[in-house]
Amino acid sequence: MAGRKGLRNRLKGARGRSTLEKEKPPLFGMIHRKGEVVIQVLANVRQVTIKPLIKIRPTNAT
């Protein structure tokens, strides 16, 4: 078949989400109400890993 390849055929990299063992680990970021930015490297992107980070409140919050 002649012509250009479809977009999916041209994408590079492994399929699926990243893990801590791979080259690009998953990052989780939040912006608090006062503008503070919090970024953490995650071991995986499962709900049990992310949910506790959302429930934690910063120590200086009112």
Q: Domain coordinates of the chain in residue numbers?
A: 17-62
Helices (H), 1-62: 7-10, 47-55
| Residues contacting 24, CB < 8 A, separation 6+ | 18
Token pair recorded at residue 23: 């080259």
> Is residue 27 within 8 Å of residue 14, measured between CB atoms?
no
> Is residue 27 within 8 Å of residue 42, measured between CB atoms?
yes
Instruction: Give the residue ranges of the chain where pLDDT is below 70.
Output: 1-2, 5-20, 22, 56-62
Q: What is the reported pLDDT for 24? A: 77
Q: What is the reported pLDDT for 46? A: 87
What stretch of H or E contains 51? Answer: helix 47-55
